[in-house]
Amino acid sequence: MTLAEVLAQDSRRLQQDLDLDPREARLEIQILLCEALGVARSWLIGHDREALAEPAAQSYSALLTRRLAGEPIAYIIGRREFFGLEFKTTPAVLIPRPETELLVELALARIPEDQPCKVLDLGTGSGAIAISIARSRPLAAVTAVDQSPQALGVARDNAARLQVPNLCLLHSDWFGALGAQTFDLIVSNPPYVEAGDPHLQRGDVRFEPLSALASGADGLDDIRRIAAAAPQHLNPGSWLLLEHGYNQGEGCRDILRQQGFSEVETIRDLAGLERVSVGLRAA
């Protein structure tokens, strides 16, 4: 079969088996073909009349089998793009998602470009948020923590490859290992899925670490913990930014107000969904 025929046939198969959008299915097949062939998508488009020959055909078949079983593309090829950077991604960490780029953008809007600033990323996972901030603000001293040693290993690999000397990675259960340190901004994409949510048993999330996804009956347990402890680690006049689920904006705003934060608001993502809530520690 030619590459074009493989692309057409397996796109339909992926679309049907995983209930994907046709364009998404086609893109995923292109990614798998490129991985098996060791080429860029531009090459694939220009050579689609060529045959898929061995040994690339065997490699591609193995990759496709994994995807048809539901395994996420990011884990199959071991990487995911986020904020214009490529991050190593393994089953030890949550897969970076486009909607989380809003959290980075909101953080950068509150971090000066021309003076030092201390930033904390709680639950860093792959390091995507912290590394994106650190690269965009070289004068900022960014600390990133995670309770998973495996996740920190992935973050360290990403930090080394992407060359971010202004990043410090620590093993910590939220604020546990930080002592009395204070920061000018705290950012977090914590677990926020309801423990009983049936979506935890569907799609890509079946393969992701549950500890990075679920947080109590209403999904807000970790957000409550962060909001309660954050004022002790924020300098006066500093911000706390929290990503959360589309239906948790009101709950997050209530939590932030209860902990004494002012200027509390929720910002919507590009899909129009409430995505990030922010609060200011009074001066």
Closest C-alpha to 153, from 115, 178, 124:
124
Is 190 annotated as a binding-site member?
yes
The annotation status of 146 as a binding-site residue, yes or no, is: yes
Per-residue model confidence (pLDDT) at position 203: 83
Q: In whole angstroms, what is the distance from residue 258 CA to residue 227 CA?
A: 9
> How much is the mean pLDDT over the chain?
96
Q: Quote the pLDDT of residue 86.
A: 97
Phi-psi region of 77 (alpha: psi -120 to 50; beta: other; left: phi over 0): alpha
How many CB atoms sit inside 10 A of residue 176's CB? 12
Residue 192 annotated as lining a ligand binding site = yes
Residue 124 is labelled as binding a ligand: yes
Average pLDDT (240-266) is 97
CA distances from 236 to 6, 224, 232, 261 (A): 59, 20, 10, 11
At residue 54 the predicted structure's pLDDT band, cuts being 50, 70 and 90, is: very high
State both tokens at 184: 């000018």
DSSP symbol at 165: T
Give the residue from 133, 125, 140 showing the smallest Cα distance to 209.
125
* pLDDT, tens digit (0-9, with 9 covering 90-100), for 90-133: 999 999 999 999 999 999 999 999 999 999 999 999 999 999 99
Residue 202 pLDDT class (50, 70, 90 cuts): confident
d(CA 272, CA 262): 24
pTM above 0.85, yes or no: yes
Any known ligand binding at 43?
Answer: no
Question: What's residue 72's pLDDT?
Answer: 96
Q: What pLDDT, on a 0 to 100 scale, did the predictor assign at position 201?
A: 84
Residues sharing a CB contact under 8 Å with residue 84, sequence separation 6 or more, in sequence order: none
CB of 127 closer than 8 Å to CB of 94: no
SS3 at position 114? coil
- Residue 132 is labelled as binding a ligand: no
pLDDT at 196: 87
Q: Is 123 annotated as a binding residue?
A: yes
Please name the residue that has the structure tokens 């546990």. Answer: 176
Would you say residue 256 has pLDDT above 90? yes
- Please list, in sequence order, all residues whose beta carbon lies within 8 angstroms of the beta carbon of residue 127, skipping any fewer than 6 positions away: 87, 144, 154, 155, 156, 158, 159, 167, 169
Q: Is 75 annotated as a binding residue?
A: no
User: What pLDDT, on the 0 to 100 scale, is given for residue 239?
Assistant: 98
Model confidence at 227: pLDDT above 90: yes
Neighbours of 169 (CB within 10 A): 23
